[in-house]
């Protein structure tokens, strides 16, 4: 399963995976307006992988088959303050 990965120019840390045969025009307009322009950064063959660095590969594959794309958002950064003092 070949997919193409695009980096959002507007939303830092957001990546859009597109199934082979799909284009950015196939992605819902509302999502594209959130992401802004996107730049292709790589091509992946998911059939030759059993995991991805920050995404569940099975979920990515399911989304690519079901909707033609998968959205990877940046991880949430915890802003909780830890009190080490006594």
pLDDT band at residue 12 using 50, 70 and 90 as cut-offs: very high
The pLDDT tens digits of the residues spanning 27-83 come to 999 999 999 999 999 999 999 889 988 899 999 999 999 999 999 998 775 555 566
Domain membership of residue 61 (yes or no) is yes
* Pair of tokens at residue 68: 């033609």
Tokens of 66: 């079901």
Residue 13: domain span: 2-72
Q: What is the CATH number of the domain that holds 51?
A: 3.10.510.20
Helix (H/G/I), strand (E/B), else coil: 3: strand
Question: What is the total count of domains within the chain?
Answer: 1
In a domain, 42, yes or no: yes
């Amino acid at each position: 399963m070949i997919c193409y990965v695009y980096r959002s120019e507007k939303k830092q840390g957001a990546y859009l995976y597109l199934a082979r045969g799909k284009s950015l025009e196939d992605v819902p307009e509302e999502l594209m307006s959130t992401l802004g322009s996107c730049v292709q950064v790589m091509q992946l063959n998911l059939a030759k992988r059993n995991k991805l660095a920050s995404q569940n590969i099975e979920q990515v594959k399911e989304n690519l088959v079901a909707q033609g794309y998968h959205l990877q958002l940046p991880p949430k950064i915890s802003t909780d303050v830890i009190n080490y003092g006594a």
